[in-house]
Homo-oligomer: A and B are copies of this chain.
């Protein structure tokens, strides 16, 4: 399935300017809204995730989208379609996890129906009052690139769940990676700090589709070059004991960190600068690399079964 082709087609059919971003900014209502589907067999397998963690993750990924916009997460609706054999324990654990992930936001409704497999769809609403809302098209030369969250752990955790082994890691390290995948943490404080203190427009995205994807999307959307120091990207130190850890960090995805381009980077983790030009340059200790959409397509973690 060609996601980008379909999204372009949807935009043309609806003649809508809103489609394509993680959140839609509805400025007449002072809110943003986002929605995500999680499908058994595509996004998760029941044998790898407990009902509590499934509820947690379903909500956390939507809270993360709201955080990426700079809005304050306020309300969620959760629509669950479940097989006939679902029991009360599943429901209770799922909603306990969902509640834990919603932080100060409230789950206010949704739907409950039957299905052959578990289908979860969560919609989240954020309030834009007192917040400056981000856009991936807002990066400006001279801004610093700042980041929150560890990168690479979630993808490594997924690989472990899928049966891949990292022989150099301890059991405790492996457990930490798996937990990063199953229970990502939305970056609520980082989002609030930026959206309540930046005076000028800024870019912000979550790194759910991978850090490289977010960097390229901002560079292309804003018509700028992002000059990134790889060594400064926060990650679990022990990941460096694994093969290809650089790919995990750049392309792994599902870490739900945030990156932003800001004027005021005080007290934040700076990983690079916005410059005039185009593309994303990753500087390693002795070498550097230009990231492009094609390197992305080669490495991107994909939800679609193609």
Contacts and interface: CB of A to CB of B under 8 A. Distances in A.
Given A24-B75, A34-B77, A75-B24, A3 B112 contact: yes
Interface of A: 1, 3, 5-7, 9-10, 13-14, 16, 18-19, 21, 23-24, 26, 28-31, 33-37, 39, 41-43, 74-75, 77-82, 84, 86, 88, 91-92, 95-96, 98-99, 106-117, 119, 121, 123, 125, 127, 303-306
B109 A14 contact: no
A123 B91 contact: no
Nearest to A42: B114
Nearest to A117: B116
Nearest to A20: B109
Contacts of A78: 35
A45 B81 CA distance: 16
A227 B117 CA distance: 43
A92 to B, nearest CB: 5
Given A14-B107, A91-B9, A119 B33 contact: no
A280 to B, nearest CB: 25
Nearest to A127: B29
14 contacts: A1-B114, A5-B88, A6-B91, A13-B99, A14-B95, A18-B107, A19-B109, A19-B110, A29-B29, A31-B31, A39-B115, A42-B81, A116-B117, A119-B119
Contacts of A306: 84
Given A42-B113, A106-B18, A108-B16, A31 B34 contact: no
Given A10-B95, A114-B304, A304-B113, A81 B119 contact: yes
A235 B18 CA distance: 40
A35 B109 contact: yes
A7 B92 CA distance: 10
Given A16-B107, A99-B13, A112-B3, A33 B75 contact: yes
